[in-house]
Amino acid sequence: MSIEYKIRLVAELITKSRHAIAFTGAGISAESGVPTFRGKNGLWTRIDPMKYASIDGFIANLREAWEWYKWRMELVEKAEPNPGHRALAELERLGFLKAVITQNVDRLHQRAGSRNVIELHGTLWVLRCINPSCRYSIGISEPPREVPPICPECSSPLRPSVVFFGEELPREAWRRAVELASRSDLVLVIGTSGAVYPAAYIPFIVRDNGGSIVDINPDRDAYSEIADVYIQGRAGEILPRIVEEVSRSDSQQSSI
């Protein structure tokens, strides 16, 4: 099957769907210059995730871990949403996409104009106190100048509100994601290895309810074999072509 054919097929799945969602991972931000976690040059190939992305490792290596998060915040702050992010925002605007369920913590979907974004792994742009009995949290728009930043209420260190290994997903985000997936007849899986659970269940929930899976990734991932359509390619190249096709068939429909 040629890529052109697959793009037409996906556009048709989208225009015929009643309730389509996207499920995204680090790969959709790769073309914005934000590194992925696995694979060549992935963040986890350079550092041990347990060192910075588990609560024990984070506390034990506080300053070093914070330097790493600050570096990631600076990188993401400078990055711009790419055509892949913008294509999903456009699909939502056209009324074809109900939500983006993302594992990303960079907020690039929101900056591209997506409105209904569910952040399953939290965000870099909210800090909260590591002291479990202190409820302090604060939204930030730039990386903290001094690290580690300190809680103004109890003087414990603050942490980024990203999900560390071994932690539960934010409850409300997970509840909404499962609810949306259960109602969906189509999920566009973009730029994720599908290696991290429970987030990786989302496409399976759609499939188990009879919905279709479209998988877009330059490399095969956990869904490529079971997907109704697997498109081998980069999100920033494939998604705009799909949106173009959707817009074309949509305008043909409305002129009939």
Q: Are 174 and 120 in contact (CB under 8 A)?
A: yes
Q: Choose the stretch contacting ligand OAD; rule: CB under 6 A; options: 11-19, 72-80, 210-218, 243-251.
A: 210-218
Is 121 designated active site?
yes
Q: Considering CB under 6 A, how many residues would be counted as binding ligand OAD?
A: 30
Partnered with residue 216 across adjacent β-strands are: 190, 231
**Please, what is the minimum distance in Å from the beta carbon of residue 133 to ligand OAD?**
24
Task: For ligand OAD, give the closer residue by CB, 16 or 175.
Answer: 175
Nearer residue to ligand OAD within complex by CB, 13 or 239? 239
Note whether 39 binds ligand OAD by CB under 6 A.
Answer: yes
**Closer to ligand OAD by Cβ: residue 17 or 102:** 102
Q: Is 20 within 8 Å of 98 (Cβ atoms)?
A: yes
Q: How far apart are CA 178 and CA 191, in angstroms?
A: 20
What is 101-115 written as a DSSP string?
Answer: EE---S-HHHHHT--
User: Is 32 a binder of ligand OAD (CB under 6 A)?
Assistant: no
Determine, following the binding rule CB under 6 A, whether residue 196 of this chain makes contact with ligand OAD: yes
51 binds ligand OAD (CB under 6 A): no
C-beta closer to ligand OAD: residue 144 or 218: 218
- List the one residue out of 202, 223, 208, 214 whose CA is nearest residue 246: 214
The C-alpha atoms of residue 214 and residue 249 are separated, in whole angstroms, by 19
| Residue 123 near ligand OAD by CB under 6 A | no
Q: Kindly give the interhelix angle for 3-16 and 235-255, rounded to the nearest 10 degrees.
A: 50
* Residue 203 lies near ligand OAD (rule: CB under 6 A): no
The answer to the question of residue 37 lying near ligand OAD (CB under 6 A) is: yes
Query: Can residue 217 be called a binding residue for ligand OAD (CB under 6 A)?
Result: yes
Structure tokens at 145: 């100048």
Burial class (CB in 10 A: 0-12, 13-18, 19+), 90: buried
In angstroms, the CA 108 to CA 86 distance is: 9
Q: Is 121 in the site for ligand OAD (CB under 6 A)?
A: yes
Q: Does residue 109 touch ligand OAD according to CB under 6 A? A: no
Q: Which residues bind ligand OAD (CB under 6 A)?
A: 25-28, 30-31, 36-39, 42, 53, 103, 121, 162-163, 190-193, 195-196, 216-219, 221, 234-236
Point out the residues that are catalytic: 121
